[in-house]
Structures are given as structure tokens and as C-alpha cells.
Amino acid sequence: MLLDAIAVQDILPHRPPFLFIDRVVSIEGETIIAHKAVSSCEPVLQGHFPGNPILPGVVQVEAMAQAAVLLVGQLGKFDSERDNCLFIGIQEAKFRQPVRPGELLEIEVKAVRLGRVGKFEGVVRVGDTVKSQAKFTAIISPKEAAKKPEAAS
């Protein structure tokens, strides 16, 4: 294991219930593989759907985005102390199979372009089965730029 749950939280600003990466198992070149164990106790599963719990596709795409942030952090392109990394686009998201409690997600994200604006391709698998995939774009912006301007006096 490359990054455990504690190391993941040292990089990502997310916290449960909105943290969707449990560990990073590999980074090779500009590709990361992370895992998320889907528990029946996930808060989002309580209402999606009662009696037939399915992890929403938007959560799967968010897990891909969180993996991308971990990737750019490990590549030295992102510093969580100084920067925010924010979605600016999601393209070609496809949801192929439902994700159910008890499944272990393998989240693979490849950087297509790195820089202040990054482009990524991600896929979520359980074993050999593709559950979802997406292309997405994110921007790295300094945290100071995210602060609201003070009112003029």
C-alpha cells in the first residue's frame, strides 16, 4: 500500500461522509489506483435506495476526482496547504453497472494533461467489471483566491 487512510487525509481536505478513498495501492507514471470499500453503513446508501442500496454515480465520479487530487499531490503538482483543486468539467460519464454494499472499488485515474488545469480519465471497477468511467477536468487555484473579498468601508 502506498498511502493508507491517514496519509490520504493528510492530502485531501475531505472528511467522512464525503471522503471516498480508503487507500492508494499504486502510482505508476501518471496513473493512480486507489480503493474504496463500500459499506452498508454509508450514509448515502440509507436513502439511495431503501431496500435496494446503490452507490450513486456522482459519488463514483467524486471518488475518481479525489484519486486525481492524490495523484497530482504525489507528483508534486498540488499542495493541499496552499491550493484547492476543483472540478471545472465532467465529460462522457458513463455508469455501466450498479455498485452495491460489500464491494471493493478499484479506482484508476490517468492524467491526460497536467498543469494548473488538468485533464483526467477515470474508471471504477469491481474485479474485472467496469462500474463507471468518466473524463473530467480540474483546476488548481491558490486558497487565497477562494476567499471572499472584504466589504468596502
Instruction: Please give the positions annotated as active site.
Output: 48
In DSSP terms, 34 is beta-bridged to 24, 107
3-state secondary structure (DSSP) of residue 49: coil
Sequence-ordered list of residues with C-beta below 8 angstroms from that of 73, at least 6 positions apart, any chain: 11, 79, 80
Sequence-ordered list of residues with C-beta below 8 angstroms from that of 85, at least 6 positions apart, any chain: 68, 69, 72, 78, 138, 139, 140
